[in-house]
Structure 1
Amino acid sequence: MNRRLYLRSIAASSIGAAAGCLNTLSSGDEGANNSNSSKREPVDGTILEPPERDLSEASHPSYGDEFPTTSVPDPLSGETVSTDQFEGERAMLVTFFYTSCPDGVCPALMLRLRRAQAVAAEGGYGDDAAFLAMTFDPERDTEGVLQTYADQQGVDLEAGNWHFLRPERYEDAKSIVDGRYGLPLEKRDADEYENLEYMFPHFSYIFLVNERGLVERVYPDGATIATSKLVEDFETVVTA
């Protein structure tokens, strides 16, 4: 995709001041108010109506785009997971995180995916859903650390629909997050945090992808989007 300058310009102006996770692209989700929304048409293959906010000029995939395919190991299940393996079978919620996140934003992302997972189980459509959370800090986020994190966050790994994805190297993670999904990522010293050698200013996005592999919603402020709204959107897509 050739839509990178829009997001990079914002990242460049914000990254120096950010503590851990960036939420600078917008306030609210892709459904925030936009007076041009009525002019947009539904994209063939999508379930939700066009979002009120048009993010089509951003560097990342947005409403109606094909979600880029990537294959990443899941150390907890012992398998390599490809995003396209769910096409025709499951809708996905996808996010990117690291367990050492110092400001609570990454746990907030996990909370929202975990709540959607719980509602899917309650609604009997857990087998039609997939939850993918990819770390971009494989040096620290080892298999054992991810297992402990799953327990701390209350993730139900036994449901078989949640995958913690772990690239082999940071460079691989950056290639995926930045190069493939258009979300600028920077590894930098964490002098302000005594217990951290380095940290990652990054964008706390959540992507909602339907079973056809098309993006239904992008939540730029994934850590603060109303959980009920995300769950409602996800349930609509999964059960359509």
Structure 2
Amino acid sequence: MKRRNVLATVGTVAGGSALSGCLGVLSEDSNPNVVLGDPGNPFESEDVAYPAWGQRLPDVTLPAPLETRDVKLASIERPQLLTFFYSHCQTVCPVLISTLRNVQTHAHNNGYADEVALLPVTFDPERDTETRLRSYAEERNVAADAANWHFLRPSSTERAKAVVEDEFGVAFRRTEPEDMEMYMFTHTSLTLLVNADGYVERAYRDQSPDVDTILSDLERVRTA
């Protein structure tokens, strides 16, 4: 499916903020496909660009270049955290990756490393090669060879647009500096908590997601 609109206007992203999918008071509304209650968003899930609370994750398969295999997102069969980034980003993306890394560290230290999957998806496949992703993992102190970490890389720029923007509603636009090798992106932020059945439990739209909130939500989802 194609999302009807991208997550937000691209030009508002670099220095702005976005509402978090976890804001609001939980209501008594329920959905049989999810563990966490309605997050109290002022909109219906089907009316926003991204897969929101109670919705099925898009049926997307992406290459995992560090593992030489493909990963079907909706068929992982364990809770997952999914975010979107590019490795040359100097603003939002390091924070998003650090958030997933902190969850990875907490999972390792507390004995549930095999109960969660961490999936950062690059929308810059031109530069985010296998070699680059390995060096980036070292820079960010990520255990990229751990069984719960999966860098995902669309096969082309066109495929990145089709998946990241059309399927997940995350807008990104390449800038055009004089040094073309150092181009950047303006982009929106999204981190998804998905349950083992492939349904979205929470959509965190903050540029700096709260790790404690994510860990609390994840614990409820994985122990349900």
- TM-score if structure 1 supplies the norm length? 0.84
Q: 1:60 matched to which residue of 2? A: 50
Aligned partner of 1:209 among 194, 198, 206: 194
8 Å CA contact 2:3, 2:166 repeated in 1: no
CA 1:102 to 1:122, structure 2 compared with 1: closer, same or farther past 3 Å? closer
Runs of 5+ unmatched residues, structure 1: none
Cα offset, 1:79, TM superposition: 1.1
Runs of 5+ unmatched residues, structure 2: none
Q: 1 CA distance for matches of 2:152 and 2:2? A: 26
Q: 2:147 matched to which residue of 1? A: 160
Number of residue equivalences: 222
Matches of residues 1-240 of structure 1 in structure 2 within 5 Å? 4-5=4-5, 7=6, 10-11=8-9, 15=11, 18-19=13-14, 24-26=17-19, 29-33=20-24, 38=27, 41-55=29-43, 56=45, 57-87=47-77, 90-103=78-91, 105-190=92-177, 197-221=182-206, 223-240=207-224
Q: 1 CA distance for matches of 2:85 and 2:29? A: 33
Q: Percent identity?
A: 36
Q: 1 CA distance for matches of 2:137 and 2:32? A: 36
Cα offset, 1:180, TM superposition: 1.0
Q: Secondary structure at the match of 2:80?
A: strand
Q: Secondary structure at the match of 1:101?
A: coil
- TM-score if structure 2 supplies the norm length? 0.90
Q: Deviations over 1:40-59 (max 9, x none)?
A: 61111211111132452211
Cα offset, 1:195, TM superposition: 8.1
CA 1:201 to 1:80, structure 2 compared with 1: closer, same or farther past 3 Å? same
Greater shift in the superposed pair: 44-53 or 90-99: 44-53
Q: 1 CA distance for matches of 2:74 and 2:181? A: 35
* C-alpha RMSD over aligned residues: 2.2
8 Å CA contact 2:96, 2:209 repeated in 1: no
Cα offset, 1:205, TM superposition: 0.6
Q: 2 CA distance for matches of 1:18 and 1:133? A: 19
